[in-house]
Amino acid sequence: MSKAVLALLAVLALATPGPAGSDDDEGKRPELHLRATPKFSFSPATILFTAELKGGDDIEEFYCPEIEWEWGDGGRSISEGDCDPWEPGTEIARRYTARHEFRYSGRYLVRVYLRKAGKGVTQTRLTITVRPGGGERPRF
């Protein structure tokens, strides 16, 4: 290969951006995990859900999000944070909790969404099982 071609390839390699999402200015995105306590119960059941951001950097996109819980039984809960404006170096909240009562037995797909300015940031889901209790007949 000629020196001119090698020089051109070197310039192109330096000018070409890395893989999508690898922008150093953005930081590494945390991952959202969801757990339920207890994961199996008897109706009526009050379950504690914990959504937790693991890994990644404290980036503005994850600062003070709107949180929507979709319970899988037709119910939803939405909460909005009341936070000071973002400044570089600000730590993001990494743990969000909510309780929900499931009155009837069944399998429920619970979802949690984090949004910023109406735009989805991340989401996750978890299936829980509520067994018949208190004289209820099985529905599944």
Residue 84: CATH number of its domain: 2.60.40.10
Judge whether 102 lies within some domain. Answer: yes
Judge whether 18 lies within some domain. Answer: no
Q: How many domains does the chain contain in total?
A: 1
Q: What does each C-alpha distance from 10 to 20, 82, 106 come to in angstroms?
A: 21, 49, 60
Judge whether 140 lies within some domain. Answer: no
Residue 121's pLDDT band (cuts 50, 70, 90): very high
Instruction: Name 62's Cβ contacts closer than 8 Å, sequence gap at least 6.
Output: 29, 30, 53, 56, 92, 114, 116, 121, 122
Judge whether 115 lies within some domain. Answer: yes
Structure token pair of residue 6: 């090698």
The pLDDT score that the predictor gives to residue 2 is 53
Range of the domain at 92: 27-131
Residue 138's pLDDT band (cuts 50, 70, 90): low
Residue 73's pLDDT band (cuts 50, 70, 90): very high
Judge whether 98 lies within some domain. Answer: yes
Judge whether 14 lies within some domain. Answer: no
What is d(CA 20, CA 32) in angstroms, rounded to the nearest whole number? Answer: 20
Judge whether 6 lies within some domain. Answer: no
Lowest mean pLDDT among 10-14, 54-58, 111-115: 10-14
